[in-house]
Structure 1
Amino acid sequence: MVECSPTLQKIQYSTLKCVDEDSPCENTKRTVRTLSGATVSWHAALEQVPTGLPTIIIAHEFYDALPVHQFQKASRGWCEKMVDIAEDSSSFQFVLSTKPTSATLLYLIKRYKWASIEVLNKLNQIEVCPKAMELTHTIAQRISSDGGGALIIDYGHNGIVSDSLQAIRNHKFVHILDDPGSADLSAYVDFAAIRHSAEEASDNVTVHGPISQSQLLGFLGINFRADALLQKCDEAQAESLKTGYWRLVGDGEAPFWEGPDEQTPIGMGTRYQAMAIVNKKQGVPVPFQQ
């Protein structure tokens, strides 16, 4: 398990129903999952995971939670958006840096070189996620040396993201600076930056996608599976299946919904994207063979 939070490690330990047993090695313990007998270990970072074997990495709704830097074009050039205390000292507010910051010089310029002049000229704001670039670099190097692949599924764009940072509390959108620490923050994933980061890390990996979640699940047989399940469902189960299916592969509000408007299923099939990073020796993953 790769988890940097000791608190979440304890939750995972409990959820996996782990116990500590004496190890064959003298004076050491090992953690074992009681349901399967598999040995479980924790690492704070991917770099700490032992190497030498093919690695399968699945990042599902992971990249969107990584921190981003926001930059805004002003009369004096590109400025970083920063947080300051409001004039009444009772809240926070966004301000622009008065001069180029280290993030501007390091991250914005790096992302800048991957975009065309035409695209950049149309933008007034840019979001950059340095941690996503760094992590992708590490993942690509691991896949290059050990084999295997990574599947990334998240909502985002295949290009520069301008201003997507959002805060959600109790399933509702709130202002980013409203009661900091009480809401979940997320931002759209820049899949183009992930591609460039992986390709820069190694010549031994290939990047496929992004394709929509709807396309990915379609190639994996979700339509056939849904049809088969519908043949064995009662009316309530069929309604639940249709709703879940629409959320995964649909686009926008479900046209068949007859319940309360506030509960209308929203399809995420086109909003969510899928990308694969694989060792060149592995060939092209099936869903991406188009």
Structure 2
Amino acid sequence: MLRILRPTAPRTAIRFIRFYSSDIINNVTPSIKKESLSPLGKHLRDSIKLTGPLTISHFMRQVLVNPLSGYYMEGDVFGKKGDFITSPEISQLCGIWYLTEWMRLGQPQKTQLIEFGPGRGTLMSDMLRTLSQFPYFYKTITDVHFVEASPGLRKMQRAALVKGSQDNDVIRIEGNKDEPPIETITRSDGVKVSWHDGIEVVPEQWSCIMAHEFFDALPIHSFEKTGTEWREMMIDIDETKESERNFRIVKSPISTAMTKTYLSDKKFSTDFKDGDRVDISPDSWGVIDRIAKYLDRNGGTGLAIDYGQDYIQGDTLRAIKDHKIIHPMCDPGTADLSADVDFKFLKEAILKGSEGVSAYGPITQKDFLQSLGIQARIEQLFKSAKSSEQRKVLLDGAERLMDPELMGRIYKVLAFAKESSDVKGEPVGFENKKFILPVEE
């Protein structure tokens, strides 16, 4: 009798098949292993267990700047190996824009540059290099001030602006109970560079202010309309077996204090339908309000460059890790959290917070760079490039900055300036773009 030999499955495979089959029959999903909790993750979990779900605003603040292991506190998150790349073409053209503003606003004898969230200091370093080609303006620059929370990034910024500097070159000016200490160092060209926790302690002087990809990282509160009411979105512990994440976004069952504070305006009851979401950043309002008041007292001009829209949006919270978008609840502290900027919100804060500061735009990054002659600049660099590889890098970078499908449209540029009655004209690139505060009903 002929025997037919059949291959047999290993015992482990049989056990897996039986287990998986029984799950299918019983309609049970196999459990997924949870991510390991970092010290920051454990801190967030314990906080939620103690006080209940966190607001998205509190969660973002902890994830980004918590000294335990916040994303910006961990070291170099910028450059090719990090999650951000700043093009030198943007830096150089922004320097030219500030030069034109200095001329438009009366050519003050003393100026200083202030940057919020300066990253590695690359943008400011490139701007100073460009401005040094215009001695009549450059000689008026007395100081550079960085508003930066991360000790690690402060070291990188110092290395970018003061070549060959050492830790012991930094002068630490101790504050008191009301004023934090100030770190400062002087460049070889005489420009002093200082670091601060906020604009409140920056010396009073005519200033050029830069906020490049700064406002998108400020915390938001997120809300969803449920029927005729609004509910705040919160961060809770995820103990389900269907997700590897330890945290999840849930909807508050009752109206929170923030809901009553920020969504009482009539437009929120009439202009939105069930299921709509809105993101609001009180921190952004507070920062731009302080900037506007500072310029109102001292004079000056500024730019806010970020991705966003000129209206309120919702559900824009995102996480970026290794240049890829991931779920915002994944392994807190290892990815950058950000949300789209509401430029209309910023403009209203500027005009409501100060009498003499005007706001312009926003315009797209493409229009801003074109108004400053980026095409001629790229052509000049292309001709001087020494290899085909350099030319390719240059063209790829220009496309990334200008293409409407990449950064050219989603990135917006907002301008603001203290203008006296005798100032004529408008900022370069912002002709007929002055914002007028709507009349409240």
TM-score, normalised relative to structure 2:
0.56
Displacement of 1:38 after TM fit?
2.8
- Separation of aligned partners in 1, 2:210 and 2:255: 36
In structure 1, the partner of 2:342 is 190
Give the 5 Å matches for 1:4-19. Answer: 4-15=149-160, 16=162, 17=165, 19=169
Q: 1:85 to 1:204 in 2, by over 3 A?
A: same
Displacement of 1:122 after TM fit?
8.2
In structure 2, the partner of 1:271 is 410
Q: Are residue 136 (structure 1) and residue 297 (structure 2) matched?
A: no
Large movers: runs of 4+ above 6 Å: none
- Separation of aligned partners in 2, 1:11 and 1:238: 28
- Separation of aligned partners in 2, 1:153 and 1:224: 22
Q: Which runs of 5+ in 1 are unaligned?
A: 24-28, 253-266
Q: Are residue 100 (structure 1) and residue 242 (structure 2) matched?
A: no
Secondary structure of 2:417 counterpart: strand
Counterpart selection for 2:206 from 46, 54, 59: 54
- Separation of aligned partners in 2, 1:79 and 1:30: 43
In structure 2, the partner of 1:79 is 231
In structure 2, the partner of 1:288 is 430
Aligned amino acid, residue 240 of structure 1: V
Stretch deviating more after TM superposition (55-64 or 223-232): 223-232
Displacement of 1:146 after TM fit?
0.8
- Separation of aligned partners in 2, 1:123 and 1:97: 14
Larger strand fraction of residues? 1
Displacement of 1:235 after TM fit?
2.9
- Separation of aligned partners in 1, 2:209 and 2:274: 35
- The answer as to whether partners of 1:30 and 1:39 remain within 8 angstroms in 2 is no
Q: 1:211 to 1:21 in 2, by over 3 A?
A: closer
- Separation of aligned partners in 1, 2:261 and 2:418: 29
In structure 2, the partner of 1:3 is 148
Displacement of 1:30 after TM fit?
8.2
Give the 5 Å matches for 1:1-290. Answer: 1-15=146-160, 16=162, 17=165, 19-20=169-170, 31-51=184-204, 53-75=205-227, 77-88=229-240, 91-109=246-264, 112=265, 119-121=271-273, 124-233=276-385, 234-252=387-405, 267-281=406-420, 283=424, 284-290=426-432
- Separation of aligned partners in 2, 1:245 and 1:88: 46
- Separation of aligned partners in 2, 1:176 and 1:94: 9
- How many pairs align? 267
- The answer as to whether partners of 2:361 and 2:414 remain within 8 angstroms in 1 is yes
Displacement of 1:22 after TM fit?
11
Q: 1:198 to 1:34 in 2, by over 3 A?
A: closer
Secondary structure of 1:72 counterpart: strand
- Separation of aligned partners in 1, 2:172 and 2:294: 31
Q: 1:11 to 1:108 in 2, by over 3 A?
A: farther
Q: 1:277 to 1:31 in 2, by over 3 A?
A: closer
In structure 2, the partner of 1:257 is none
**1:228-253 deviations in Å (ceiling 9; x for gaps):** 2333334333222211111111122x
TM-score, normalised relative to structure 1:
0.83
Q: 1:122 to 1:248 in 2, by over 3 A?
A: farther
Secondary structure of 1:206 counterpart: strand
Secondary structure of 1:287 counterpart: coil
Q: 1:22 to 1:227 in 2, by over 3 A?
A: closer
- The answer as to whether partners of 1:108 and 1:128 remain within 8 angstroms in 2 is no
Q: 1:157 to 1:237 in 2, by over 3 A?
A: same
CA RMSD of aligned residues (A): 2.6
**1:39-66 deviations in Å (ceiling 9; x for gaps):** 3322211111111x21111111111111
Secondary structure of 1:131 counterpart: helix
- Separation of aligned partners in 1, 2:413 and 2:232: 30
- Separation of aligned partners in 1, 2:232 and 2:185: 47
Aligned amino acid, residue 289 of structure 1: E
Q: If you compute each CA radius of gyration, which structure gives the higher value, 1 or 2?
A: 2
- The answer as to whether partners of 2:227 and 2:274 remain within 8 angstroms in 1 is no
- Separation of aligned partners in 2, 1:207 and 1:201: 12
- Separation of aligned partners in 2, 1:122 and 1:82: 18
- Separation of aligned partners in 2, 1:123 and 1:79: 10
- Separation of aligned partners in 1, 2:376 and 2:270: 43
Q: Percent of aligned pairs with the same residue?
A: 36
Displacement of 1:91 after TM fit?
1.8
Q: 1:181 to 1:289 in 2, by over 3 A?
A: same
Displacement of 1:269 after TM fit?
0.6
- Separation of aligned partners in 2, 1:123 and 1:88: 24
Q: 1:91 to 1:20 in 2, by over 3 A?
A: closer
